[in-house]
Amino acid sequence: DGGITQSPKYLFRKEGQNVTLSCEQNLNHDAMYWYRQDPGQGLRLIYYSQIVNDFQKGDIAEGYSVSREKKESFPLTVTSAQKNPTAFYLCASSSRGTSGPTDTQYFGPGTRLTVL
């Protein structure tokens, strides 16, 4: 099956600890994205990558870091510098990372992070 996987589905961490969220895709997409969702809100862009070994900050990148060493993987690290890390984190991918009509973004199932 082609798709985007995120693991784990639920994650609990103590305050002050860094935590890494996994995102893998087997769609052969060039572009990958990380969004954050807070209760009752829409998604906000954290980071995105349009090609391997390159990534850009989104609208709320502070307190987060990413890497893109492989085309199929785009892990997100939530650092202790992130003031309010408890949220639902969603990974997405698209063919080329453009706004073109055939370049639809598809989402993974999400990881719910709770910092205690």
Partner 1 sequence: DAKTTQPPSMDCAEGRAANLPCNHSTISGNEYVYWYRQIHSQGPQYIIHGLKNNETNEMASLIITEDRKSSTLILPHATLRDTAVYYCIVRVVNQGGKLIFGQGTELSVKP
**Interface positions with partner 1 (CB under 8 A):** 4, 31, 33, 35, 40-45, 48-50, 56, 58, 88, 90, 92, 94, 97-101, 103-110, 112
Minimum CB distance to partner 1, residue 82 (Å): 20
Minimum CB distance to partner 1, residue 56 (Å): 7
Minimum CB distance to partner 1, residue 49 (Å): 8
Residue ranges of E strands in 18-110: 19-25, 31-37, 43-51, 54-57, 64-66, 76-78, 87-94, 106-107
Place of tokens 């890494």: 20
CA atoms within 13 A of residue 80's CA, in its CB half-sphere = 5
Minimum CB distance to partner 1, residue 16 (Å): 26
Non-local (6+) Cβ contacts of 15 within 8 A are: 80, 115, 116
- Work out the angle at residue 54's Cα, subtended by the Cα atoms of residues 51 and 59, and round it to the nearest 5 degrees: 105
Whose Cβ is closer to partner 1: residue 18's or residue 100's?
100
Whose Cβ is closer to partner 1: residue 16's or residue 101's?
101
Whose Cβ is closer to partner 1: residue 53's or residue 56's?
56
